[in-house]
Amino acid sequence: MQDHPGHLTDLRGDCANCFGLCCVALPFTASADFALDKDAGTPCRNLQDDHRCGIHARLRQSGFTGCTVYDCFGAGQKVSQVTFAGHDWRTGSRAHARRMFDVFPVVRQLHELLWYLTEALTLPAARPLHAELRGILDKTEELTRQAPEDLAALDVAAHRQDVNVLLLQTSELARAGIGGRKKNRRGADLIGARLKGADLRGANLRGAYLIAADLSGADLRGADLIGADLRDTDLTDADLTGAFFLTQPQLNAARGSAGTRLPASVGRPVHWTAEL
């Protein structure tokens, strides 16, 4: 697992204080990412009695690459220790377990929003929006602390839409100060695109499909990468300095090198060096 430096450390998964929720609540489909099918609410066969993964050190070699790119943004320990006050799904009723599994994905989405909002507040260019950003961050944190039944009924999509309005404005302010012609590739289909050495400074890559794209040596300084699909994207020697709204799961799904320059909000994936 990578460390998330600085101000975002509270929004990283703490498996020691979680009841293995991602290994139980979420479904798996046999694919290049998972070696087997697993229904939501069914424990993974590799989950041990202490909620630890029995093959954690060899997940990639065992066909569970999808597990190595997943991050709950700290939702696992929040649901385990706060929402359900440390009551394990193994020891409670079936209804208790079911409610915990229903709540976990909701809190995970809210924590992802907290990640973006927390990062937005570090961007000097977004200072005119800081008061509004703090307000909606506080509201989002408050939502994560609701009772299980309220969380299960929460309209996360509606709240996400409210947050996204501010994140869009933040993006515009942050990218406005970057020189050069800025490319708008929002939602673009760039699957397998050959973008080696491309000048993408200050680009809008929100929701872009960059699966297996060649971005080696590309200049992504100050780019907005929120929701960009970076699965198997080649970031070898790319410069992502100052790129924002980039999450650890996105980076974990990509390929990179020791020469890839990263923003301070994320850590260099361990498998990048392991695969050299």
Q: What is the DSSP string of 110-134?
A: HHHHHHHHHHHTT-GGGGGGHHHHH
Give domain status of residue 118, yes or no.
Answer: yes
pLDDT of residue 179: 77
Do 162 and 203 share a structural domain?
no
From 160, 175, 190, the end of a domain falls on 175
pLDDT of residue 80: 96
pLDDT of residue 167: 98
Token code pair at residue 96:
């208790």
Do 145 and 29 share a structural domain?
yes
pLDDT of residue 145: 96
What's the domain range around 208?
181-276
Do 107 and 200 share a structural domain?
no
Helix (H, G, I), strand (E, B) or coil at 38: strand
Do 155 and 90 share a structural domain?
yes
Do 72 and 115 share a structural domain?
yes
The distance between the two most distant Cα atoms of the chain, rounded to a whole number of Å, is: 59
Do 159 and 242 share a structural domain?
no
Do 186 and 164 share a structural domain?
no
Helix axes of 130-144 and 94-120: crossing angle, nearest 10 degrees: 170
pLDDT of residue 175: 95
pLDDT of residue 5: 38
pLDDT of residue 1: 37
Do 112 and 36 share a structural domain?
yes
- Across all residues in the chain, what is the average pLDDT? 92
Do 68 and 10 share a structural domain?
yes
Please count the structural domains in the chain: 2
Comparing C-alpha atoms, which of 195, 191, 196 is closest to residue 231? Answer: 191
Contact between 32 and 25 under an 8 Å Cβ cutoff? The reply is no
The CATH number for 273's domain is: 2.160.20.80
Do 164 and 241 share a structural domain?
no
Give domain status of residue 1, yes or no.
Answer: no
Q: Which helix (H) or strand (E) holds 157?
A: helix 156-176
From 147, 175, 203, the end of a domain falls on 175
Do 157 and 44 share a structural domain?
yes
From 134, 155, 175, the end of a domain falls on 175
pLDDT of residue 27: 93
- Angstrom distance (rounded) from CA 44 to CA 42: 6
Do 121 and 77 share a structural domain?
yes
Residues of the chain with pLDDT under 50: 1-6, 276
Comparing C-alpha atoms, which of 96, 58, 73 is closest to residue 22? Answer: 73
Give domain status of residue 192, yes or no.
Answer: yes
pLDDT of residue 181: 77
- Angstrom distance (rounded) from CA 167 to CA 177: 16
pLDDT of residue 147: 97
